[in-house]
Amino acid sequence: MSALKGGPAAMAAVGCTALVLIATAVTGGSVDEADSLPGGDAMGLNVEAIPAEYRDWVIQAGKLCADAPAALIAAQIEAESNWNPRAGSHAGAQGIAQFIPSTWATWGVDADSDGDADVWSPPDAIMTQARYDCYLADEVRRYKILGVENRQLMLAAYNAGPFAVAQAGGIPINGETEIYVPKIIQLMQKYSAALDETSGPFGARVIASAKRWLGTPYSWGGGSISGPTYGFAQGAGTKGFDCSSLVQYAVYHASGGKILLPRTSQVQVGEGKAVARKDLRPGDVIGFQLSGSAAGYDHIGIYVGGGQFIHAPRTGQTVSYARLTDGYYASRPQTIRRYG
C-alpha cells in the first residue's frame, strides 16, 4: 500500500522487421486469456513459498486476469504487508492487501461468502486485490504507453494511482513507486516455479523455454519476458510473440532471470559470444538478414539441433520449427550468438 494519494489508497519494440523502436515491451495480455498453469502465467507457481492458509485464495485470485498471475499476487502481498492480515499504515491502509476505506468501499468483495466484504479478511482482501489489479491493467492499457510492460504500469497504478501513471507517461518517479514496481517484479521470482526450463545445460533450457510456446501466434511487437502479449500495428489484435521477444523470453527464463537481452533482434545479435558455424550447438541463437544489410539482422531464432531452429516467423503464422537448409533462410547472411 502506498502513502501516496493516488494508489489503492485512493484510486516495444519490434525485432523482426527493419524498423527498430526503442522499447522494452508494449502492452500486457488479455484479461480473459490466462494460461492453464497454476496462477495463469508463463511460469508455474511455487506454492511452498506462500503461507499455507492463503494458497488457495492466491491461486484463485491469479486466475482473474493474465496481467495479475498468482506469483504476482503473492509478491504484491509480501511487498504490501508481508502477509500480515492485521497490517496498518500511517496513511490509513488496512489488511493484508493494504486498502484504505474509500478504495475498499468501491472495490471490496465478499469472497468467502460470510455476508461481509471485510478488509481484514484475507480471502476478501486477496480477491479484491486481484479484481483491482485487473481493472488497473485494463485502465493503463488504454493509455498506450510504450517502453514499459503493462504489468509494470498496473503495479505503478496500484501504488500511485492510474492518474499519476497517465501524467507521468510511465512509472511515476516520486521516491516510492519507482522502487515498489521492480521490488514486486523481483519478488515474483520467489513465488514462481519454472516448468522444465531450469534443469540441464543452458542451451537445453533455452530450447525448453521456447518450445513451450509452439503454436503461439506471431504478433508484431508482441511478447515479453512475462509471456505472450498483444502487439501493435498489424499485431494489435493478436496476443503472441515476435521473433526477438521469443528469444528474449527463452534466454531470460533459461538463465533464471539473470540474462535480459535487448528487445530487438538487431541489438540482440551484438550480445553474448560470437560462434562460428562449425561450432553451432543447440540453444545458440541465429540472426538472419532477411531484408538486406540496411535492416541489419531483422530476424532471429533458436537452434534446436538436427539442422532446425525454432522461431516466431511472421504475421499469420505461429511459433514453429524451420530448417536452416530452407532456401529462404540458407541464402541470407547469418550470425550466431551464444548467451550462456
* pLDDT tens sequence across 242-271: 999 999 999 999 998 999 999 999 999 999
Q: Identify whether the C-beta of residue 224 lies closer than 8 Å to the C-beta of residue 249.
A: yes
175 and 250 both lie in a single domain: no
67 and 179 both lie in a single domain: yes
Residue that terminates a domain, selected from 161, 193, 225: 193
Range among 79-83, 146-150, 230-234 with highest mean pLDDT value: 79-83
Average pLDDT of the segment spanning 107-114: 97
Residue 253 lies in a domain: yes
Residue 65 confidence (pLDDT): 81
Residue 46 confidence (pLDDT): 85
Residue 14 lies in a domain: no
- CATH code at 138? 1.10.530.10
214 and 298 both lie in a single domain: yes
Instruction: Answer whether residue 15 shows pLDDT above 60.
Output: no
125 and 51 both lie in a single domain: yes
Residue 3 lies in a domain: no
Residue 312 confidence (pLDDT): 97
Banded model confidence at residue 32, pLDDT cuts 50, 70, 90: very low
Residue that terminates a domain, selected from 144, 171, 193: 193
Instruction: Answer whether residue 13 shows pLDDT above 70.
Output: no
Instruction: Answer whether residue 37 shows pLDDT above 60.
Output: no
Average pLDDT of the segment spanning 102-129: 98
Residue 43 lies in a domain: yes
Half-sphere exposure of 340 (CA within 13 A, CB side): 25
164 and 140 both lie in a single domain: yes
C-alpha distances in angstroms, 267 versus 38, 206, 229, 293? 34, 19, 21, 14
Banded model confidence at residue 44, pLDDT cuts 50, 70, 90: low
Average pLDDT of the segment spanning 122-133: 98
Mean pLDDT (the chain) is: 86
CA 130/CA 61 separation, integer angstroms = 6
- The residue among 26 and 298 whose pLDDT is bigger is 298
Count of Cβ atoms closer than 10 Å to residue 237 Cβ: 9
Banded model confidence at residue 337, pLDDT cuts 50, 70, 90: very high
- Domain range for 208 is 202-338
166 and 235 both lie in a single domain: no
- Three cell numbers written together for 334: 547469418
173 and 211 both lie in a single domain: no
158 and 73 both lie in a single domain: yes
Residue 120 lies in a domain: yes
Residue 224 confidence (pLDDT): 95
163 and 234 both lie in a single domain: no
pLDDT digits (tens, 9 = 90+) for 129-170: 999 999 999 999 999 898 788 889 999 999 999 999 999 999
151 and 271 both lie in a single domain: no
CA 205/CA 198 separation, integer angstroms = 6
Residue that terminates a domain, selected from 193, 217, 252: 193
Residue-level length of the chain: 340
- Three cell numbers written together for 321: 520449427
Residue 4 lies in a domain: no
- Total structural domains in the chain? 2
Banded model confidence at residue 309, pLDDT cuts 50, 70, 90: very high
- % of the chain surpassing 70 pLDDT: 85
- % of the chain surpassing 90 pLDDT: 66
175 and 239 both lie in a single domain: no
Residue 338 confidence (pLDDT): 97
Contacts made by residues 75-84, CB under 8 angstroms, sequence distance 24+: 75/184, 75/185, 75/186, 75/187, 75/188, 75/190, 75/191, 76/129, 76/133, 76/155, 76/158, 76/184, 77/126, 77/129, 78/187, 78/190, 79/180, 79/183, 79/184, 79/187, 80/1, 81/1, 83/51, 83/54
Write the CB contacts of 108 (distance below 8 Å, at least 6 apart in sequence).
Answer: 99, 117, 118, 119, 124, 128
pLDDT digits (tens, 9 = 90+) for 194-221: 545 556 789 989 998 998 888 899 999 9
CA 241/CA 210 separation, integer angstroms = 11
71 and 158 both lie in a single domain: yes
